[in-house]
Structure 1
Amino acid sequence: MTPAVGKKATGLIAATFTPLTPEGEINLAEIGPYVDYLLEQQGVKSIFVNGTTGEGMSLTVEERKMLAAEWCSKAKNKLENVIVHVGCMSLKDSQELAQHAGEIGADGIAVISPSFFKPATVGALKMFLQEVAAVVPAVPFYYYHIPAVTGVHLRSRDVLEGIDAEIPSFRGLKFSGSDLMDFGQCVSYSPSHWSLLYGMDEQLLGALAMGANGAVGSTYNYLGSSVNRLISAFNKGDLTMARTLQFQVQDILCYAMDCGFDLAVNKQLMSEVSGLVLGPPRLPLLPCPQSKAVSIARKLKQGTLLGKGEPCGGSVEGQCDANLTCLSVTLGGDKEETPRGKVCSPPLAPGCVPCSGVQCPRVRRTCPGGHVTEPCGCCPQCARQKGQVCGGPSWENGYCDRGLTCTLFTGHSPALPPHTGVCKVLPGKPLERLLQPMEDPLCPRVSGCNIRVGYCDCYSLQTCHHVFFYPSLDECLKAKREDELWSERNEENREWTCMKWGCELQENQCVCMERSCSSPSLSEDACEDLLQKARCSNVSCSEVPVPSCPDDSFLTESHIPPGKCCPLVPAVCTCNFEECPVAPQNCPPGQLVQHVEGGDGRPGSCCNRYQCVQS
């Protein structure tokens, strides 16, 4: 039988606990609620059952079959992957469990090395694995490496050598060891359709850097939401946030270890956090004193980092992630509603209000400069250009393009809300940085990726400008693969269709989309001009005289707010600091530079003036 490819296992995979009654019998009734808890509360979409955390080696073959069947039944159409561990001391028992896993529709099986009579060589271990996999050749097969438990310290990289020829259904490795060199060598050797799953929760970030596809662990049962954010931060290139979240996991585990952390404590902790009734462990493990688990659960809840948009404050336990603040927001989109709650949000820039009370204008596809999101983080928009109005309450008049600063109409000071200003170059701004994605202390920190010289370059930057083409490493790699596949296609087989971005006026609005080049359409500017003329055809605006500006100044554009017909801010003269002379770098011998006139930033006296005088 040809082995099925199956769904590739990625992301977080919870190593599930086995629910038992107080008498130590299997408690199948808790499995349905357990699946829902993982999915809804922790964002975990895959599970690894009957493994070390599930006390698989303390269960009978029949008990393991009952559990595997119930997990698969309750996870159907909810979870992405159910991987069933079928390893036993007996080859025959392992084969029986593997056969059963195939019959109940498991998404994969995993096998641990026998640990009583241990395989002495890599060849012996691979023969055992091959015998189990051969029973169900259509089910994806994973080797489960956990040397601290089995005492089998054969290098995983050696086990993987040629294994796809011996076990065609082989699809990956659950690596529960601390040897990152061995793990890295496994990643380096592995083809793209394998899953390299790391099993040491406290070292996950290091494994991700090595190239892990996902992780299997017990703490993801109750720390899944935090670790999902860790993976997301890593994929976006935000290593500062990823380290913060990894340190949080380590702090909790260190505290737990000081309290005497073992599987019994871990199981009781899951019960305390989730509210599930998981029962005691099976002998020879002893039940955990409840006080231990309660103490660790309290530490866990106090240290829980809440993500963007999650409720916070009041009776909610935990604190907002770094770069987030617990802010009040209006509940619902209606401005008339008064009930308020608190959620974790990016800290508000000076003069900003929560975005729930802001109505954003339509985002244009094409802009003269580029797209920005003002410091309040609410509205994507076209960057304002030189001479255009900016700032205002909550930055409602827009934010300036790269190299320009929203400046008061007179003087040298930046315009901060609620003041309105004009975009221009301030004195002292180096021209070579005008086209660079500058760090801006007024703006939120954003993360993302760009493709540079064939590689995905991911980093974070404090900026209002849209400097990233891809929001995450996954999106960047996907786009890179698509580009590579496209370039590999035969040029003769490509069918080109000429498309353009165009608009048409429909019922008092501009409707813009990709259109065939042969279809008549308007540019966004032309469509907006027609819409403005139609809307304002019967409106008369007061005439405002246009001033004549001195040589050191230029005339700003008048500003008509969206949806209005008449200028709210008239055209005025403002200093053109780019034209100001600079102080002489060198004077003739015996002379010094002297500041002879101070510019105050007002038209007619914008610039400082210098001359060389006798020393």
Structure 2
Amino acid sequence: MTNARDTARSPRPRPFGRTLCAMVTPFTGSGALDLDGARRLAAHLVAEGCDGLVLNGTTGESPTTSDTEKAELITAVREAVGERVSLVAGVGTADTRHTVELALAAEKAGADGVLVVSPYYSRPPQDALEAHFLEVAEASGLPVMLYDIPGRTSTRIEPETLVRLAAHPRIVAVKDCSYDFLGAQKVLARTELAYYAGCDEHVLALYAVGAAGCVSTVANVVPGPVAAILDAFDAGDTAGAAELQLRITPLIEAMMAAGLPGTVTSKALLTVLGLPSGPMRAPLRPAGREAVDGLRAVYEHFMAA
């Protein structure tokens, strides 16, 4: 017998999986792209519970990797994980033409979808923003995840714009970092767009109102515990899911809200754990000893709890 809760959850699509990690891009000690490290890290994340990976995103230091490196990373990770998980490639830039070129290159390299952030710096109005996304969606055969993160781009993808964009058959998902929970619910109620929580503190909250899953930075370090939050909710254990979300909150705060970018904190902890990461590319700088010690302490407390 199908219960009401299962019926309520079933219509929402999961075009790219449920627990996605916004994977860091490993570099060698000299700062070159570490493809072997990327393969090993991707395989580890999948083995620990991720059913999708976002490559060449914010956490992946996309502003400092070349177009060639972006394509090479997609190809290498596909070799490592095969077809068992979705690979979503970040292709968003401040230039529509360049974004289209990256989308076509991602398709050729083996991506399953593209993540397209609002063009930054130029701050296009909503009609220009809509035209930008539509041009990218028309350019390749890949499904599109829109990336709404006005804190970085200074341009919100307004709910009404998202509703209109949802009519395009290849615009299927949103990575939501808008911090507008009401706006997200309005779009969820009016479209079939698959929402993915892009802020780790919203993983359970957005999932509970119909999101498809998450694109988590913290999952670089604790992929299993992030997946466990959604596992518990899917099993009907809402209290257990809430407990897991609250238990991981100090780690989320340490990694995402303590003054350092998530790329820096993720790579610091991955290094502590002996997993591939390597240095950051300038202008980002590695975490100092005090910050690393603090991150390690929060991580160890979380894992011991």
TM-score by length of 1: 0.45
**Distance (Å, rounded) in 1 between the aligned partners of 2:271 and 2:299:** 13
Relative to structure 1, is the Cα distance of residues 153 and 162 closer, same or farther in structure 2, using a 3 angstrom cutoff?
A: closer
Relative to structure 1, is the Cα distance of residues 290 and 21 closer, same or farther in structure 2, using a 3 angstrom cutoff?
A: farther
**Per-residue deviation at 1:141?**
1.2
**Per-residue deviation at 1:172?**
1.0
**Distance (Å, rounded) in 2 between the aligned partners of 1:7 and 1:226:** 20
Instruction: Read off the aligned partner of 2:153 and give its amino acid letter.
Output: T
Per-residue CA deviation, residues 181-211 of structure 1 (Å, 9 max, x unaligned), is 11111211122xx421111101222111221
Asked if 1:68 corresponds to 2:74, the answer is: yes
Among 114, 120, 123, the alignment partner of 1:109 is 114
Instruction: Read off the aligned partner of 2:264 and give its amino acid letter.
Output: A
**Distance (Å, rounded) in 1 between the aligned partners of 2:61 and 2:21:** 14
Contact 2:163 2:191 in 1 (8 A): no
**Per-residue deviation at 1:230?**
1.2
Aligned twin of 1:12: 19
Aligned twin of 2:36: 29
Contact 2:145 2:173 in 1 (8 A): yes
Asked if 1:168 corresponds to 2:169, the answer is: yes
Per-residue CA deviation, residues 99-152 of structure 1 (Å, 9 max, x unaligned), is 1111122111111111121212x211011111112111x211111111111111
Contact 2:91 2:102 in 1 (8 A): yes
Contact 1:50 1:86 in 2 (8 A): yes
Aligned twin of 1:133: 137
**Distance (Å, rounded) in 2 between the aligned partners of 1:242 and 1:139:** 33
Aligned twin of 1:181: 182
Contact 2:115 2:146 in 1 (8 A): yes
**Per-residue deviation at 1:270?**
2.3
Relative to structure 1, is the Cα distance of residues 190 and 271 closer, same or farther in structure 2, using a 3 angstrom cutoff?
A: farther
Aligned twin of 1:354: none
Among 52, 58, 63, the alignment partner of 1:57 is 63
Kindly tell me the number of residue pairs found equivalent between the two proteins.
Answer: 292
Per-residue CA deviation, residues 200-244 of structure 1 (Å, 9 max, x unaligned), is 101222111221111001101222211222112222332221121
**Distance (Å, rounded) in 2 between the aligned partners of 1:67 and 1:49:** 8
**Distance (Å, rounded) in 1 between the aligned partners of 2:113 and 2:22:** 14
**Per-residue deviation at 1:276?**
1.8
Aligned twin of 1:159: 161
**Distance (Å, rounded) in 2 between the aligned partners of 1:240 and 1:186:** 26
Instruction: Read off the aligned partner of 2:97 and give its amino acid letter.
Output: K
Q: Secondary structure at the match of 1:82?
A: strand
Instruction: Identify which of structures 1 and 2 has the higher relative contact order when contacts are C-alpha pairs closer than 8 Å and 6+ apart.
Output: 2
**Distance (Å, rounded) in 2 between the aligned partners of 1:102 and 1:211:** 29
**Distance (Å, rounded) in 1 between the aligned partners of 2:234 and 2:200:** 17
Contact 1:7 1:81 in 2 (8 A): no
**Distance (Å, rounded) in 1 between the aligned partners of 2:73 and 2:180:** 32
**Per-residue deviation at 1:257?**
6.3
Identity of aligned residues (%): 26
Relative to structure 1, is the Cα distance of residues 24 and 237 closer, same or farther in structure 2, using a 3 angstrom cutoff?
A: same
Relative to structure 1, is the Cα distance of residues 124 and 256 closer, same or farther in structure 2, using a 3 angstrom cutoff?
A: closer
**Distance (Å, rounded) in 2 between the aligned partners of 1:176 and 1:132:** 21
Asked if 1:39 corresponds to 2:39, the answer is: no
Aligned twin of 1:202: 201
**Distance (Å, rounded) in 1 between the aligned partners of 2:152 and 2:95:** 17
**Per-residue deviation at 1:168?**
2.4
Relative to structure 1, is the Cα distance of residues 75 and 256 closer, same or farther in structure 2, using a 3 angstrom cutoff?
A: closer
Aligned twin of 1:124: 128
Instruction: Read off the aligned partner of 1:142 and give its amino acid letter.
Output: M
Aligned twin of 2:297: 298
Contact 2:218 2:252 in 1 (8 A): no
Relative to structure 1, is the Cα distance of residues 257 and 63 closer, same or farther in structure 2, using a 3 angstrom cutoff?
A: closer
**Distance (Å, rounded) in 2 between the aligned partners of 1:28 and 1:99:** 21
**Distance (Å, rounded) in 2 between the aligned partners of 1:256 and 1:109:** 25
Q: Secondary structure at the match of 2:57?
A: coil
**Per-residue deviation at 1:68?**
2.1
Per-residue CA deviation, residues 257-304 of structure 1 (Å, 9 max, x unaligned), is 68643231232112223x123111111111222452243133213222
**Distance (Å, rounded) in 1 between the aligned partners of 2:23 and 2:271:** 12
Per-residue CA deviation, residues 444-479 of structure 1 (Å, 9 max, x unaligned), is xxxxxxxxxxxxxxxxxxxxxxxxxxxxxxxxxxxx
**Distance (Å, rounded) in 2 between the aligned partners of 1:257 and 1:90:** 28
Contact 1:199 1:216 in 2 (8 A): yes
Contact 2:121 2:154 in 1 (8 A): no
Contact 1:195 1:213 in 2 (8 A): yes
Instruction: Read off the aligned partner of 2:186 and give its amino acid letter.
Output: Q
Asked if 1:217 corresponds to 2:216, the answer is: yes
Q: Secondary structure at the match of 1:162?
A: helix
Q: Secondary structure at the match of 2:272?
A: helix
Contact 1:272 1:294 in 2 (8 A): no
**Distance (Å, rounded) in 2 between the aligned partners of 1:204 and 1:82:** 20
TM-score by length of 2: 0.89
Instruction: Read off the aligned partner of 2:19 and give its amino acid letter.
Output: L
Relative to structure 1, is the Cα distance of residues 260 and 110 closer, same or farther in structure 2, using a 3 angstrom cutoff?
A: closer
Contact 1:10 1:195 in 2 (8 A): no
Q: Secondary structure at the match of 1:298?
A: helix
Contact 1:89 1:116 in 2 (8 A): yes
Contact 2:118 2:157 in 1 (8 A): no
Aligned twin of 1:247: 246
Q: How does 1:251-290 map to 2 (within 5 A)?
A: 251-256=250-255, 260-262=259-261, 263-273=263-273, 275-290=274-289
**Distance (Å, rounded) in 1 between the aligned partners of 2:116 and 2:258:** 32
**Distance (Å, rounded) in 1 between the aligned partners of 2:276 and 2:228:** 27
Q: Which has the larger radius of gyration?
A: 1
Instruction: Read off the aligned partner of 2:38 and give its amino acid letter.
Output: I
